[in-house]
Amino acid sequence: MTAPVRFVPPDGGAAPPAVTQEPPPPARSLGPFYALAGLLGGLALLIVLRLAWFQIDPQLAEFRRFARQDRGYMTGEIFPLPRGWITDRHGRVLAGARLAYQLDVAPDALRRPGEVVAVLAGVLEMPADALWARLQPNEQGQMPPAVMLSYTVTPRQRALLLEWWARWAALGDQAPIDPARNDVFRFTPVLVRAYPEGDVASNVVGFVTLSDRETRPMWVGNFGVEEYYDRLLQQAWVTIPFYEPYRVTPDQVPLPEPPSGVVLTIDRDVQNLVERILDEAVEEYQARRGVIIVLQPKTGALLAVAMSPRPRLDDYESVLQFLRRFEGQGWNWAVEHTYEPGSVMKPIMLSIALDTGAITPDFTYMDTGVEYPCGGSAPVYNWDYAAHMEQNIVGCLANSLNTCFANIAMQVAPEDVRRYMEAFGFGAPTGVDLAPERAGMFSAATCPDRSRLGFGYAVSVTPLQLAMAEAAIANGGFLMRPYVVQAQLINGRLVPTPYPQVVRQVLRPETAALVNDFLARAMTHDTYENAEVPGYTLAGKTGTAFNPRDPDDLLDATMVGWGPVGDPQFLVLVWLEDPRANDGWASLTAAPTFRRVVERLVVILGIPPEGARQEAAYQGR
């Protein structure tokens, strides 16, 4: 029996060969980011043009004459800078900015407020009573000179309101406004949040809401990247100071620093592909909801985190409907939903048993259809309640024998079970840069719990937590920290984030290689025919788990797989909640969904079939 592995802390030990020998990533194209720099330059130009207008507009001549009388007077103009952009790994914008207007209304210029409020409600698509409430005097009975009614007026709405203003002014004394006033409506250009991709990666990006501050309102991040990186992305206000109102030259204008932003690891093409496949799977298998994760097992970089159903970020009503429908269930189920995953955990217990020496690679098991790991109590049965007779490790995996893995779990010392489960990351957040994230839990305190851990019960995981644990097997034994932001735009410069990060070494490389081989051989059996992709050697495991939840008991169907075995370029996790078709079995729901993702993923990532890779390697010799 070999000695148990000594876990390597995050700052110690050697990095896995798969990580250290991986060629450097291709140089990132900075072309899309020049567009961002162009936008920033445009903002500076707008400021200069605004200041030039201050000097030439004839209506401001009186202000200039007044300014000459008091050259010590200092004032300024406040300009909002846009909230930082969020782009995918290729620079395609997922969250940016669009032009809008802040609308301020002068209450004392309204002669017949009812008529004006009716028009405002129709044009702005706001409730009339909400507008009335804002136009009421304050607690001291005073009416402010101007009241902000909206921060997100579109150019079309602005044009319509200006038309109404001109129409009313032409009525003279019969107008519902004071026709002599030119400040009835005041429009201030602002840049508001825009999500040009709609529902693509909406669960990853998150959304923003406007703060309730009366002056200088701010966009506040909610969920996902918007919340986790809120301080970095937060919009700023810049004050352009000058003496003598409207007498300033461009060289006196302090140019503001460009806004910050983040570049994601998410690939928009992969994300969009996976979301459409997931939508089809949820409908085809009559599932309540689902998640698909695609990541790089060697680095922990997330290429796609799909969810179905999901809201459209460019439609705030869609966001509200989603939050109401799934109230209390989180925004991003990949990191917020926990469940007992079932047989998909069997590779984890197999790895623990092999790494500690509790079993050897030539282990065999005589299956009678029932196992009594704790004496006469808490018997364990197979999913089909059948006896499969003598099986080796590959047979136990291919037939997904609960009895076999309960037996294996009980051969591991209780302390080793606890240590390894913690080392794989169960019971703790993964540390991914998305907000918020749940930790999950596991129990190895009793005999029944330890036996149930062998086939994926007595443990609750998030889909991402499970994916990262399985990735440790795929990449040679190292738990990686998942991440979704690969670079930050700070002061106009792209600054790489400190990833990839090895959290700890969990398994010996030789143990991970053994488990990869066992899983790849098991996937050649008929039980995995729905998950196979011709031309690629894949490793993986399905799991169908019964989870009692209020108000109804549900089935969870999961498949985790990766490839090509030996040099894994991707890991895919599929989770479907309560699929009603095909009796909910993961082998008939999650497995074919996994195959559809991989068939298209290898094309997008440019991973040729094994024969083509071998031929290319031979010709390159």
pLDDT per residue as tens digits for the range 41-62 = 544 444 443 434 334 334 334 3
Burial class (CB in 10 A: 0-12, 13-18, 19+), 12: exposed
Mean pLDDT computed over every residue of the chain: 86
pLDDT band at 140 (very low <50, low <70, confident <90, very high): confident
pLDDT band at 552 (very low <50, low <70, confident <90, very high): low
> Is residue 582 a contact partner of residue 589, using CB atoms and an 8 Å limit?
yes
Phi-psi region of 476 (alpha: psi -120 to 50; beta: other; left: phi over 0): left
pLDDT band at 515 (very low <50, low <70, confident <90, very high): very high
Place of tokens 């093409």: 269
CA atoms of 106 and 167, how far apart (whole Å): 18
Q: Is the pLDDT of residue 403 over 60?
A: yes
CA atoms of 604 and 273, how far apart (whole Å): 10
> Is residue 559 a contact partner of residue 579, using CB atoms and an 8 Å limit?
no
Burial class (CB in 10 A: 0-12, 13-18, 19+), 339: buried
The CATH topology of domain 17-23+266-619 is Beta-lactamase (3.40.710)
**Average pLDDT score over residue span 565-573:** 97
Locate 406 and state its tokens: 């309960």
Res 82: pLDDT: 82
CA atoms of 195 and 210, how far apart (whole Å): 15
Residue ranges per domain, the chain? 17-23+266-619, 98-195
Res 56: pLDDT: 37
Question: In sequence order, what are the residues at sequence separation of 6 or more whose Cβ sits closer than 8 angstroms to the Cβ of residue 6?
Answer: none
Which position has the higher pLDDT, 321 or 57?
321
Locate 476 and state its tokens: 């040679």
How many C-beta atoms surround the C-beta of residue 56 within 10 A?
9
Handedness of CA 372, 377, 382, 384 (dihedral sign): positive
The region of weakest confidence among 59-63, 476-480, 545-549 is 59-63
Res 617: pLDDT: 52
Res 46: pLDDT: 44
Res 4: pLDDT: 38
CA atoms of 112 and 371, how far apart (whole Å): 83
pLDDT band at 536 (very low <50, low <70, confident <90, very high): very high
> Is residue 455 a contact partner of residue 466, using CB atoms and an 8 Å limit?
no
Q: Is the pLDDT of residue 21 over 80?
A: no
Res 238: pLDDT: 67
> Is residue 560 a contact partner of residue 540, using CB atoms and an 8 Å limit?
yes
One-letter-per-residue 3-state SS of 187-234: EEEEEEEECCCCCCCHHHHCEEEECCCCCCCCEEEECHHHHHCHHHHC
Res 70: pLDDT: 41
CA atoms of 602 and 575, how far apart (whole Å): 20
Question: Up-side HSE of residue 581: CA atoms within 13 Å toward CB?
Answer: 14
Question: Nearest 5 degrees, angle CA 61-CA 62-CA 63?
Answer: 90
